[in-house]
Amino acid sequence: MSKKPTVGPALHKVIMVGSGGVGKSALTLQFMYDEFVEDYEPTKADSYRKKVVLDGEEVQIDILDTAGQEDYAAIRDNYFRSGEGFLCVFSITDDESFQATQEFREQILRVKNDESIPFLLVGNKCDLSDKRKVPLNECQTRAQQWQVPYVETSAKTRENVDKVFFDLMREIRSRKTEDSKATSGRAKDRCKKRRLKCTLL
C-alpha cells in the first residue's frame, strides 16, 4: 500500500463519436459522475479519466468526448488514432444521426486500419421511444453487417450506460491480451482471427 507499484493499472482509451446532440457528453457524464444535464452545450473535446473495477481487476478508463460538429473530418484523425475502442453513438429519435454512423465507422477503420477494432454501436435516448425514428431492426441489421454489438442506452435514465462502457473495455482488454500473445507468439494474421471471433458474437 505504501509503495506505489511501478506498473499502474491497465489503461483503456475510449473515444465517443457520433453526430452533434446525440448524447455523447450526456453518456460520459452519467458514467463518470452519475449526473444528467438537460441543457445542450456542444462539445469541442473533453478528456476524462476514472478508476473502475472491471471483472475484479482495477483498471483506468480514459474517455475522450469529441465534437459531433466538425468542419473538417480530418481533424478527427488524430484522436481516432489514439483510441483503443469506440462508442459510436446516434440518437434513436434522429435518423440523420443514424446515417452518420456509417461515415464515422469508415473513418475509424481507415485511420486505425483495423477491421476488428473494439467498437459498439450505441442507440441513445431510448427513454424517448415514442419519438423513435430509427427502427430497431435497422440498427440491428447495421450492427450485424459491421459485426459489432448494438446496445440501446439512455443517458437520462442511466439504462445500459455502465454496460456500454464495460462491454467496450472488455473488448479492448481481450484485444490487448491477444495482441501481446501475437507479438510474443506467432500469429500475424490476427485480422482474420478477429473476424472469425466477431462472427461468433
Partner 1 sequence: MLTTLANIKHILQKELFNGSGERVLSVVTVTKTFKKKKACYLCIVTTPPPVPVVTVCIVKQSEQREGEYKKKRTWQLEEIKWVDGRNEQFETHEFDIQVEKTYKWYALNLHERQNFLAVLYKQIQKYVRAQRAEFRNVPIAWLNDKSPEKLAAGRNAEQKNIQDTDDEEEAQEFTALTDKEATELGKLFSECDFAVKDAEQLIEKLSKELHDLDGANIQSVLASEKQVFALMEHIDKAIAEADSFEKRLDSYEEILGHVKETMEKIGGKNAMIEIANNNNIKLMKELNKVISQLDLPHIHQQALDEPDLKTVGGRKAAIAAAQSLQQAMNSDIDPTLLRLEAVQDQRKRFEKWKAKFSGIVSRFMNNLFIHLGNEMGDNTTMSTELVLPNHLSVHRELTPYTELMHWTKAMDRKTYDGLTRVYTTSLSKIYERDIRNFFSLAKLQISEKLRTSREDLDTSASSKKSAISAAPYGTLGVNREQWGPGVENADRERFDSVLEKVLAELEPVALQEQMFCINFFQMDVISPTSKNTQTTLEVLEKSTDSASLLTSPTSASGGGDASGFPQKKIDRQINEEVRKLMIALFGCLEPELVSFIQSFERIDSFYSLYVLVRLTQHVMSAQDTHSFLSMTFASALVQVKRNFDRFMQQQLLSIKEAKVPKRSKCGILPYVENFEYFAQTSEGIFRKSDRRTDMEKWYLQLVNSIFESISVHAQEHPKTPSQVVRMENYHHMYSLLAQLKVPGLDAMKKEAKMRYTDALKVYVIQYFGRPLEKLNLFFEGVQQKVAQGVKETEISYQMAFSKQELRKVISQYPAREVKKGLENLYKKVEKHLCEEENLLQVVWHAMQEEFIAQYNFLEERIQKCYAGAMITLEFNIQDILNFFSDIARSH
Ligand X SMILES: Nc1nc2c(ncn2[C@@H]2O[C@H](COP(=O)(O)OP(=O)(O)OP(=O)(O)O)[C@@H](O)[C@H]2O)c(=O)[nH]1
Distance (Å, whole) CA 111 – CA 131: 34
Q: Which stretch binds ligand X (CB under 6 A): 36-44, 73-81, 99-107, 192-200?
A: 36-44
Q: Is 25 in the site for Mg ion (CB under 5 A)?
A: yes
Q: Is 43 in the site for ligand X (CB under 6 A)?
A: yes
Q: Is 23 in the site for ligand X (CB under 6 A)?
A: yes
H or E segment at 48?
Answer: strand 45-54
Distance (Å, whole) CA 122 – CA 92: 9
- 26 makes contact, choosing from Mg ion, ligand X, partner 1, none, with CB < 5 to 8 Å by partner type, with ligand X
**Beta pairing, strands 10-18 & 45-54:** unpaired
**How far from the centroid of its chain's Cα atoms is residue 9's Cα?**
20
**Strand partners for 111:** none
Among residues 13, 76, 105, 125, which is the contact residue for ligand X, using CB under 6 A?
125
Instruction: Give whichever of 76 and 173 is closer to ligand X, judged by the CB atom.
Output: 76
Alpha helix locations (H) across 62-94? 77-82
Among residues 20, 36, 62, 182, which is the contact residue for partner 1, using CB under 8 A?
62
Q: Which residues contact 156 (CB under 8 A, 6 or more apart)?
A: 26, 36, 125, 127
Q: Which of residues 135-174 bind Mg ion (CB under 5 A)?
A: none
Q: Which stretch binds partner 1 (CB under 8 A): 70-78, 96-104, 128-136, 188-196?
A: 70-78
Distance (Å, whole) CA 89 – CA 109: 16
Q: Is 43 in the site for Mg ion (CB under 5 A)?
A: yes
Contact positions toward partner 1, by CB under 8 A? 1-4, 13, 32-33, 35, 44-50, 62, 64, 66-67, 71-72, 74-75, 77-82, 111
Contact positions toward Mg ion, by CB under 5 A? 24-25, 43
